[in-house]
Amino acid sequence: MADEPATDILEATYRVLCERGYTDLTLQAIAAEAETSKSSIHYHYDSKDQLFVAFLDELYDRFTSRVGSLDGDTPREQLDALLQSLLVTDADPSLRI
């Protein structure tokens, strides 16, 4: 993403979602986590729903690029690479939001 404040908001959304779950995901909590204001969030996203859709789109894009770059000549090797990529906890943090 080229827009750094929007990226910061998406990263904050991820952290709040992990800590509180979707039910308690509020724009106020995201703003506090991103150290910005709710109005700044509304500058980039018209609503919580639009923010969440952008968040899911970003997760999907990162996941598909990660899965698409796995090596393996046989289906077994490809499956092993996929599982290794998904289950390793010390994976490259740049792949996370």
**Alpha helix (H) residue ranges in the chain:** 4-20, 27-34, 38-44, 48-68, 75-87
Check whether 60 has a pLDDT greater than 60.
Answer: yes
| Mean pLDDT within 49-64 | 92
| Mean pLDDT within 32-50 | 95
| Mean pLDDT within 57-72 | 85
Structure tokens at 35: 């150290």
Residue with the bigger pLDDT between 36 and 87: it is 36
pLDDT class for 38, splitting at 50, 70, 90? very high
All structural domains of the chain:
4-88 (1.10.357.10)
Distances (CA, A) of 67 to 3, 13, 54, 61, 78: 25, 23, 20, 10, 10
Q: What is the mean pLDDT of the chain?
A: 86
